[in-house]
Amino acid sequence: MTPAIPAAVVFDNDGLLLDTEEAWTRAETELFRRHGSTFTYEHKRDLIGSSHAIAAGKLEVMLGQPGGGVALMDELHALVMLEAAQDVEPRPGAVALVDALNAAGIPVAVASNSQRAFLDLVLGAAGVADKFGVTVAGDEVPNPKPWPDIYLEACRRLGADPADSVGLEDSPTGAQAAKAAGLTVIGVPYLPDIEIGPADIVAASLADAVVLEAVGLVPSRG
């Protein structure tokens, strides 16, 4: 486990820091409609947390288009860029948590599987871009989540030891990446029925006391 004050706290973006999943769901629904299918909750559960490349492979199976995954993902990305420009809000407790960490002098970063263009768009739209000195996108590392590269790069840029740092994630894929990088992992599920097995701690929201303890903002009760 991390010391009382972590070396860094690294936030996932989609569904954890920002509620971009609503934009993704609208885009996914439209993509499936265009291709003669219906987007379901099970599709959402399967896609959440997936990297660009992995999602492409899943989409070609879901929509019955072998070999068409890259084109489908490119189409989906164009749709979600339009959706995300309209309405993106921080998740409950996110802004207060980031502000408290900044005030305490604990380094923070964003580590997202999304591509740089989307990450910059939504961080700006939600008004939180200036709260993070370091952000790492999925198209900036050799291997996105569930591999550890994004978290290792975020810690490298912050000058923090991953073993002394905390990662916040809303999906098993992201939690697996943070755990593989050596961070202590706090899981905050976006979909309540998703179990985040790799997480060391699971909380209902970023405002939970257990989160504040784990990131060194209040004394541990343990």
Q: Which residues are catalytic?
A: 12, 14
Distance from C-alpha of 112 to C-alpha of 199, rounded to nearest angstrom: 17
CA dist 131 and 7 (Å) reads 17
- Rounded Cα–Cα distance for residues 166 and 148 (Å): 13
Q: Are 111 and 89 in contact (CB under 8 A)?
A: no
Using alpha carbons, list the distances in angstroms from residue 91 to 78, 112, 188: 23, 15, 11
Backbone φ and ψ of 153, nearest 5°? -70, -40
Helix axes 21-34, 69-84, angle to 10 degrees: 130
Burial 10-39 (b: 16+ CB within 10 A, else e): bbbbbbbbbbbbebbbbbbbbbbeeeeeeb
CA atoms of 139 and 121, how far apart (whole Å): 15
Give the 3-state secondary structure of residue 127.
coil
